[in-house]
Amino acid sequence: MPRSARTTLMRIRLFPVGLLALAALPACAPKPEAQAAEQVRAGLSLARAAQPEPAAHAFELATRHVPGHYEAWMRLARVRLDQQSFEKARAAAARFVALRASSAYAHELAGRAALGLGDEPAAVRELARALELDPGRRYLHVTLGRIHERAARYPDALAAYTVAIDALPGSAEPRIGKARVLLGHPPASRYAIRAPSGEATTARGPSAAVRDEASRLLDDARAAKAVTDAQRAEIVRLSAYIERVRAEERRRELLVADTSSARARALSQARVIGILGMLNTHGSGSFVASPWGRDTALGNDPMSALGALQGDRIGDSFGFGGLGLRGSGLGGGGTGEGTIGLGNLGTIGRGGGGGSAVGFGSGAGGLGGLRSTRSTATAQVGAPTVRGSIPSEVVARIVTRHTNVLRYCYEQGLSRNPALAGRVVVRLTVAPEGTTSSAVVSSSTLSDPAVEACITRTTQRMVFPASPGIAIVDFSVVFAH
């Protein structure tokens, strides 16, 4: 057979085989499902290798091969959320929700994407739907609490954080969130104070019950597992705010207590300080009466004990216990030994006041000649030392108020010993209710028991603000003239 004929015959025999091979080609091509699965596996490997953009590209190729591949859409939404590409994440999550409407995770991804775009109503709706489908996704309550807090829906935020605390016993975040809402937006209290956000607002400080609850929450958060550095910083910030509020409240309570008892203390001290104190301690007839009288102010009777401090005639102060103002004589009343010529009291001037004129008299010293050889007595109170919870500045203020009566004790000693001088250290024991339970002279260079006894009697009448416990107060007084 010619060669050309054999070639033709061979072609005729092979033609059915070629047809069969061509028919088998589609069956050998990769299927779209397999290609999509391969792209998903590649995307997962890239995501684990911290290559989000190539991973997202692989998941997108998988959705092109199989548009209904819900896992590819889910993975793509997660990668876009990690990249904070919220628009693309929302689009991928929407396809995931369309393919798996009953999937709680699909609604969670959609809610988180909406939250990233600032669409809080959609975020709340999607996250709430996720919780309806799967109540076990308890951590979503924390996210809902943050959303409500940021939108100033504080009751809803407290409710969400409370549910999260019950559902997540070992988590710090819901406890910190609830404490933050309680302290930032508490019930009204008595005074204004800066909010924990640091803004200069007029929001009122939290009540004691709110502070106690917030402190308990922060203590639980501090003891929780896996507390992040940011959470620790928030715990420290909120705890410091609570301490500031407590310190401010303590300061105001002390101020209120000090102010409310100021009148009572002033009345008590008026009985023993200055002119009134001296009048009240010498003789049954030395009482304040009829200070602007006329004839009735000239005798030693209950209506004229002061002897007309300011009469309408010269010499009205001649009565018993009258005020002689530096000097003796008719205007002096008594011996006039000192600045105030009341009985035997006073430290400047000396003389019997023997002048005959109606007026200032001719006694030695004072206004009768203005001659004085002795200086004024002084009592210098040193800074107190306090062991206890009473503020030292409050103690210093109260002790200083008693300077005049301490000087009076010293002046009594000067009338007996003109050279008397020295330093006295007093120790007070203050009871929790603020009264002085004991007063003792711990050291003294005066060497005058009568003056020291007067000092202890005087200082034991001191009243301080109430405090949680006993306080010990030490202060010194230097007497000189």
**Digit-coded pLDDT (tens) for 310-332:** 444 444 444 444 444 444 444 44
Strands 422-430 and 378-381: unpaired
Show Cβ contacts of residue 465 under 8 Å, excluding neighbours closer than 6 positions.
Answer: 254, 257, 258, 261, 390, 394, 434
Judge whether residue 139 has pLDDT over 50. yes
Of residues 439 and 295, the one with the higher pLDDT is 439
Judge whether residue 393 has pLDDT over 80. yes
Hey, CA dihedral for 444, 448, 452, 458, is it positive or negative?
negative
Token pair for residue 3?
């060669």
Tell me how far the alpha carbon of residue 362 is from its chain's centroid.
65
Strands 385-387 and 471-480: antiparallel
Instruction: Tell me which residue of 329, 350, 352, 330 sits closest to 338, measured CA to CA.
Output: 350
Provide the whole-model pTM.
0.43
Q: How many CB atoms lie within 10 A of CB 478?
A: 14
Instruction: Tell me which residue of 115, 63, 66, 65 sits closest to 89, measured CA to CA.
Output: 115
Of residues 22 and 371, the one with the higher pLDDT is 22
Token pair for residue 132?
């309806």
The answer to whether 336 and 344 have CB atoms below 8 angstroms apart is no
Instruction: Tell me which residue of 399, 331, 338, 396 sits closest to 361, measured CA to CA.
Output: 331
Of residues 28 and 418, the one with the higher pLDDT is 418
> 434: exposed, middle or buried (C-beta count within 10 Å: 0-12, 13-18, 19+)?
middle
Confidence band of 286 (pLDDT split at 50, 70, 90): very low
**What residue type is assigned to position 235 of the chain?**
I
In the chain, what are the domains?
32-248 (1.25.40.10), 378-480 (3.30.2420)
Instruction: Tell me which residue of 426, 474, 462 sits closest to 446, measured CA to CA.
Output: 426
Q: What's the pLDDT score for residue 56?
A: 92
- 332 HSE (CA, 13 A, CB side): 35
Mean pLDDT on 103-113:
92
Confidence band of 28 (pLDDT split at 50, 70, 90): low
Q: What is the mean pLDDT of the chain?
A: 75
Judge whether residue 75 has pLDDT over 80. yes
Judge whether residue 87 has pLDDT over 90. yes
Confidence band of 7 (pLDDT split at 50, 70, 90): low
Q: Is 403 helix (H, G, I), strand (E, B) or coil?
A: helix
Confidence band of 278 (pLDDT split at 50, 70, 90): low
3-state secondary structure 205-256: CCCHHHHHHHHHHHHHHHCCCCCCHHHHHHHHHHHHHHHHHHHHHHHHHHHH
Instruction: Tell me which residue of 150, 205, 151 sits closest to 182, measured CA to CA.
Output: 205
Q: What's the pLDDT score for residue 202?
A: 38
Tell me how far the alpha carbon of residue 285 is from its chain's centroid.
54
The answer to whether 86 and 80 have CB atoms below 8 angstroms apart is yes
* Separation in Å, CA 160 to CA 92, 116, 176: 28, 20, 13
- Helix then strand then coil, % of the chain, to nearest 5: 50, 10, 40
The answer to whether 376 and 481 have CB atoms below 8 angstroms apart is yes
Instruction: Tell me which residue of 421, 429, 428, 466 sits closest to 446, measured CA to CA.
Output: 421
Q: Is 42 helix (H, G, I), strand (E, B) or coil?
A: helix
Confidence band of 16 (pLDDT split at 50, 70, 90): low
User: What's the length of the chain?
Assistant: 481
Q: What's the pLDDT score for residue 346?
A: 44
Q: What's the pLDDT score for residue 137?
A: 86
Q: What's the pLDDT score for residue 199?
A: 46
Strands 385-387 and 436-444: unpaired
Confidence band of 258 (pLDDT split at 50, 70, 90): low
Judge whether residue 355 has pLDDT over 50. no
Mean pLDDT on 321-347:
44
Of residues 326 and 209, the one with the higher pLDDT is 209
Tell me how far the alpha carbon of residue 183 is from its chain's centroid.
11
> Which residue is associated with the tokens 């809080």?
120
Instruction: Tell me which residue of 426, 434, 441, 425 sits closest to 388, measured CA to CA.
Output: 434
Q: What's the pLDDT score for residue 73?
A: 93
Confidence band of 383 (pLDDT split at 50, 70, 90): very high
**Digit-coded pLDDT (tens) for 445-456:** 998 999 999 999
Confidence band of 380 (pLDDT split at 50, 70, 90): very high
